[in-house]
Structure 1
Amino acid sequence: MIEARTPIYQWGQKVATEADIFNDGSYPDHEPEALLVAAGSEGEIVQVGYHEESQVPIYLVEFPGGYVIGCFEEELRSERKLETVAGLL
């Protein structure tokens, strides 16, 4: 069994996207591959979960316009990252 990786971001934290985010089919009312969120767009983490198989954190981020999109850590950036020093979490 794979041990879950400690998230570096937390619920309620403001983040920005590292790259454009396109529709992967999650928004059927938009064209496939349509731009949903441009690189650098800011949003707020509304939930933190884990990818079931790999146990890496997935962040549900709410962006302006009402988009709530699941993002991996490498797709986000923030001024303030959660300290992951052993024993703090």
Structure 2
Amino acid sequence: MIKYDWGMRVRATVDLFNDGSHPGHEPDALLVKAGDPGEIVQIGQHVESDTPVYIVEFGEKTVIGCFEEEIEPV
């Protein structure tokens, strides 16, 4: 069950670092700071854990997959 919807304005609840899925950034580089605003642009599913993954656009160039505990509504 998903907790948030597409188009919802959210903010990061924690600092988000590059886990290797952003090749334009150094590994472990800070991508988004806790409190930074964003918008959910897509919702997917983590296959192994069967958990929703929210694709959040933080600014024009930063799009990150987030788990529910990493974001909250604005």
TM-score (norm 1): 0.78
Q: Which runs of 5+ in 2 are unaligned?
A: none
Q: Counterpart amino acid of 1:73?
A: E
**Greater C-alpha Rg:** 1
Task: Report which of the two has the higher share of strand.
Answer: 2
Aligned residue runs from structure 1 range 36-47, under 5 A: 36-47=31-42
Question: Residues 4-27 of structure 1, C-alpha deviation per residue, up to 9 Å, x if partnerless?
Answer: xx1010000000001100111111
Equivalent residue number for residue 58 of structure 1: 53
Which runs of 4 or more aligned residues in structure 1 lie more than 2 Å from their structure 2 counterparts after TM superposition?
Answer: none
Q: Identity of counterpart residues, as a percentage?
A: 57
Q: Which runs of 5+ in 1 are unaligned?
A: 1-5, 80-89
Count of aligned pairs between the two proteins: 74
